[in-house]
Structure 1
Amino acid sequence: MKKNIIFDLGGVLIDWNPRYFYRSVFNDDARMEDFLSTCCNSEWIVAMDAGLTAKENIARGQKTCPKYARELALYDEGWHHMFGGAIEGTVEILKDLKKAGTPLYALTNWSAEKFPWAKKNFPFLDLFEGIVVSGEEKVIKPNPEIYKRLLARYNLKAEDCVFIDDNAANVEAARALGMAGIRFTSPARLKEELSALDNRPSHK
């Protein structure tokens, strides 16, 4: 039986970076980097991935980071401009796996209110047999609970799954549950690692 392949989205299949938008807001890389490290940082962004709306999170951020209140207010309308597009090499791998009949799933830390836009603008997301979105679940990777929900929802066994993510902690969490884990660094390297898994001797 073919293994189930579970993909992360951002950083693996989709290029997303707030710098794509905020460079035009700041016109000053030093101030932008200060903003991104102190206010619009991963901890702030992940609150939306965990269930907060952009409006709620912006209001919260403006209280704790008033010096960048204006820039935070622009996050919601500017979010669509934070994409560099699809990571085409990985999309080609995804399409090849689909053609080969490999069951494909996605597990993503993503805002529930923003994900419908992604579905509309990245047609390759239709190749997945199932997608679990953290914002809808209100739990984020690397919390084991979200992996367990994906496995239960689609009746998958961890030992029959390969999990791909660019975040090392997320990969380790998948491995701890019994999945094979691949830390994504590039499409070329991913292709090599998937091939190595295919050619690994089976133990019965």
Structure 2
Amino acid sequence: MSTNIRIARICEFCKNEFTARTTKTQYCSLKCSSRAYKARTRQSKIDESNRQTEIAQHPLLEAVKTKDFLNINQASLLFGISRRTIYRIISRGELDIAKFGSRTVIRRCDMDNFFSLPLEQSMLRPVQEFPGLEKCYTITQIQQKFGISPGALYMMIQRHGIAKYSVGKFNYVAKKDIDIIFNAREDEKE
């Protein structure tokens, strides 16, 4: 089955222009085709060697990749971040954990989901200006004034997306935000 078509193409190996007789031709000659094949083979061997070296450097990494639940050390090894960074993510409430005595366990799918969030949502949140100490409650003041447990308060702050401000060793929340939530709650009860 011969064809009379002539197509101007660019060789994928040497980048020179040539005339192809089929629409699938990629290389200008057998020589370029052979060289491209050898380059692909060489690159695959290099990639495999690098992968084997990485496995040898981090033998626990391969075992960790198959687990569904990770402790803090395993998560830091797998994602290449420090333990302290993971604890900061947990303290901000952006990652769910389970505690078994003193052991902290994280689901692998939660870690994957956290790191797959687009930057607009996870990192580029607009930063609100600190309104000042006189216009804020401390967490303890909110608990005493409205009679709410610490866990419920943190869940409510997280659910409504209220900004928390750390000043020294205290966490502050804007009075207007808390008053709006608890006034709305009191109106629902009535």
TM-score range, shorter chain: under 0.3
Which protein has the larger Cα radius of gyration, Structure 1 or Structure 2?
2
| TM-score normalized by the length of structure 2 | 0.21
| TM-score normalized by the length of structure 1 | 0.20
Identify which of structures 1 and 2 has the higher relative contact order when contacts are C-alpha pairs closer than 8 Å and 6+ apart: 1
